[in-house]
Amino acid sequence: MKINSMAREYYYLIAGLPDLFIEQEQKDFNLLKLKAEIKENIHPDDYKLVEKLFLEYDNENFQNFLFERKSEFNLLGKFPQSLYSEFEDNLKEFPEYMQRFYLTYKGKNNESDDEAQEDDLYYSDKIEKIPEVKFQEAFYESLKSSENRFLKQWYSFLLLFNNLLTAINSRKSGADSTSQMVGDDEIIEIITRSQAADFGLKREIDFLEPLLQITEQTDIIERERRLDMLKWDMADEITTFDYFNINKILAFLVKATIVYRWSKLDSAIGAKMFEKLVADIRKTYELPKEFNQ
C-alpha cells in the first residue's frame, strides 16, 4: 500500500532543525552536510522531494557540461561527476527533461511526430531563444506534474518571480525581454506587451509591488538581500498551514540555501544574514505549547 507523504510527520526533526542548523560554523556553512542529515531522518520517498528541490544544482552541472563551461562541479546535486565522463552511456540515469534536451540539442532525437509536437510545448519556435532559456523551459515544464504541493507552488512562484525580474531589468536597460522569457503563456504575453509600471498585474500578483520596490534599490548587495528575503517570505507563505510534514522541511531547505549563498557572497554580510535567519528559524520552528506538556 502506498503511503501518502503528507501523512508522515516529523515532529522532533522539525523542532530540532534550528539546533542542527546552528551547530555549523556560519563562515563555513555546510549545506551538503545538512542535506545528508536530513536524508538520514526522513522517509526515502520524502527525500526524493528534497532531491527535486536541489535540481537547480544538477541543472547547473548539466549546463556546464553541455555548453562546455569551465566551471567548478557543484556537489550539491544528486548526480555525481563520474556520470558525466561517459554521459551518453549514462543518459538514462538523468531526469527525462535532461535526456530529451540533450538529444534535441545534439540533434540526436529520433522521435515520432507526436513526440516532436509535445517537445514544441517547451521548445517553441515562435520566438528565437538561446539554449539556456529553452533548457529552463524544459525544466519548469517537467515540474508541472509534481504531486507535492510545496514543490508545485514554489516553482510556479520562482518561474513568475524570475520572469518578472527579467522584464523589470530589461525595461530599465531599454532591452526587449521577449526572448528571455521562460515559457509561453498569457502572463508572459502581458508582461512583454504592457507599458504599465506594474504591467497591469499588481492585483493579480501579491508579491509584484514589493518586487518593484526592491528593484529601485541602488545598493546591489542590499537589493540582492531583499530579493532573497522575498523568496524566504514566500516559502513561509506556502507552508502557513503546514507544521511537521515534508513541506515544512522543504521550506526550511529553501531558507538554508539562502543562508548558504550569503555565506559565500560576503563574510561580514553573510554572518549578519546567518544570525538573522537563525533567529527567524528559531521562532518559526518552535514547538507549540501542547507538544511541550
Per-residue model confidence as pLDDT tens digits over 144-164: 888 999 999 999 999 999 999
Is 54 among the domain residues? yes
* Dihedral, 72, 75, 79, 85 alpha carbons, nearest 10: 40
Is 259 among the domain residues? no
Structural domains of the chain, count: 1
Domain extent at residue 86 = 44-145
Is 288 among the domain residues? no
pTM of the model: 0.87
Mean of the per-residue pLDDT values of the chain: 85
Is 96 among the domain residues? yes
Q: How far apart are the first and last CA of the chain?
A: 34
Is 261 among the domain residues? no
Per mean pLDDT, which range of 12-21, 39-48, 221-230 is the poorest?
12-21
Cα–Cα nearest to 264, from 108, 76, 78? 76
- Per-residue pLDDT of 86-112, as tens digits, reads 999 999 999 999 999 999 999 987 654
